[in-house]
Amino acid sequence: MAFQSHLDRLDVVLVSPRNPLNIGAAARAMANFGFSRLAVVAPYEPHWREARSAVGAPELLVNARETSTLAEAVSGSTLVIGTATIARRQPEQPVVQLPDLAPIVRQALARNGRVALVFGSEKRGLTVEDLAHCHLLVEIPTDPRQPSMNLGQAVAVCLYEIASRAGRPIGNSTQPPDEVPTPDDLRANLHSPPDPPATSSELDRLARIVEETMLAANYSPAAMRRANRHDLHLLLRRLALTRRDSRRILGLFRRILWRLHHRTGQAKN
């Protein structure tokens, strides 16, 4: 199947955008390169769908999803890619350079996955909490004297990189660097049986039950709970779990949690 037919399984996600003109510019870039699925998380301006900058893409804005949280926006995604400037932070996920983005996206889509490409707000980019939902980060190479890009431009550059390779057979794509394997590559190396990757919402559900179990076991002091939650979200995405893996681990922790509650005389969930 042609790569172009997979593009309806790639979502562009804008987190807390402040300027409707930038949302419109992002929508126009999506239309330029054949993408149609836009999600806007907690936009600053309520009338963002009326952005005049969405030249040639008004329907894309009308049909865009609006969510209150990033978790909701990427709930069905099996690969979440965050865009970030690495110069001012220490990344906790694998980082790929923009030229290596297309092969990774192409592989995920060709294997029937869903991809979310996430962009932060113009003011602060993606927060630490936002990044905890990402499997990996992509860095756009820019001049160190001006490392940040306008939101609409960043969307356009990333989508061009993906769309410009649309006509190339997947087998001829440049493979991503060995040190940045995709979730599917990790499963293939382990010779796992064919099984779709766990979605972001399934990983979040698993994270909640693990956290409940940690609380029931008095795993750490209250002051550490937020940091533990952050680390847990990152860990589950690094593990590249399949849906079957996720269900099995979920059942295991539910049983442990029941035992903990039964032991302490608390009501089970």
- pLDDT per position in the chain (269 positions), as tens? 356 667 889 999 999 999 999 999 999 999 999 999 999 999 998 889 888 888 888 899 999 999 999 999 999 999 999 998 766 667 788 899 898 999 999 889 888 899 999 999 988 889 989 999 999 999 888 887 887 789 999 999 999 999 887 545 434 444 443 344 455 554 444 444 467 899 999 999 999 999 999 898 888 888 888 898 999 998 999 898 888 898 999 889 888 888 888 875 544 44
Q: pTM of this prediction?
A: 0.75
What CA–CA distances, in Å, run from 114 to 24, 146, 147, 222?
23, 32, 29, 35
H helices, E strands: number in the chain: 10, 7
Question: 220: which DSSP letter?
Answer: S
Question: 170: which DSSP letter?
Answer: G
Q: Which fold has domain 3-179?
A: Alpha/beta knot (3.40.1280)
Which residues neighbour 189 within 8 Å (Cβ) at sequence distance 6 or greater?
A: 181
What CA–CA distances, in Å, run from 200 to 19, 74, 78?
28, 6, 6
Where do the structural domains in the chain lie, given as residue ranges? 3-179, 200-264
Question: In a 10 Å sphere around its CB, with 0-12 CB exposed, 13-18 middle and 19+ buried, how is residue 22 labelled?
Answer: buried
